[in-house]
Amino acid sequence: MAILGKSGRQATVKARSDGSLWRLHRDDYMRIKAKRSSQDDGGFGIEQVEEEGYVVPRKEIIPSKDPLTIQMLEASMSKSLLFAQLRPDQRRSIIDLMEEQRFRPGDIVYRQAEYGHRFYVVSKGDFEVMVSRETGSEPHCVHHYTGGIHPNQPWAIFGEQALLFRKPRGSTVRAVMESTCYVLHRQTFKAAVQQMFSYLKKN
């Protein structure tokens, strides 16, 4: 969140043992991003890879979610380092903007090497994660994302890196059965975060 905007930290982080970290300063990130955006060589510039035709939906047109769904989304998203840094009310604002999407058996959520635009929370069903080690090789299943199968367990989440980084997906994700996800688009997330930072500056 420090990369996206200037706001106070939501937690204190303290070393529990000897260790080391790689760190990236926000100003350095912004300079790299600006340089990439100005290139026209097919790099990772913002305008080059944002999804064409997507329009950030108004909150009023997104169907409201029942209390249990909100509770499960809150518990599931809190597992992500990205969303764990937000206050509960900020997470709720993000949850309100998530849209439900249904998948049939065999439907592809996204393919390996495609640019990522969406983050997913599995509310029902099963998705297999497939990876091709080499171009043209047969993909093999390395993991599953499930939701609603084991009662009282948080739903699986995947694809959150797409909210921060414009880079190709590292795997293909495919629905195994009739499945449902709650989806957050990168541009919707950015708009929500910018609104949060704007509110913090005013207050």
Q: Report phi then psi at 67, rounded to 5.
A: -55, -40
- Which pTM value belongs to this model? 0.74
Consecutive H or E run containing 195: helix 186-202
Confidence label for 29 from pLDDT (cuts 50, 70 and 90): confident
Which of 3-17, 42-56, 102-116, 148-162 shows the lowest mean pLDDT across its residues?
Answer: 42-56
Please write the tens of the pLDDT for every residue from 115-132: 899 999 999 999 999 999
Residue of 107, 180, 182 lying closest to 148 (CA atoms): 180
Q: How many angstroms separate the Cα of 100 from the Cα of each of 6, 11, 93, 97?
A: 31, 31, 16, 10
Confidence label for 47 from pLDDT (cuts 50, 70 and 90): very low
What domains, with CATH codes, occur in the chain?
A: 26-202 (2.60.120.10)
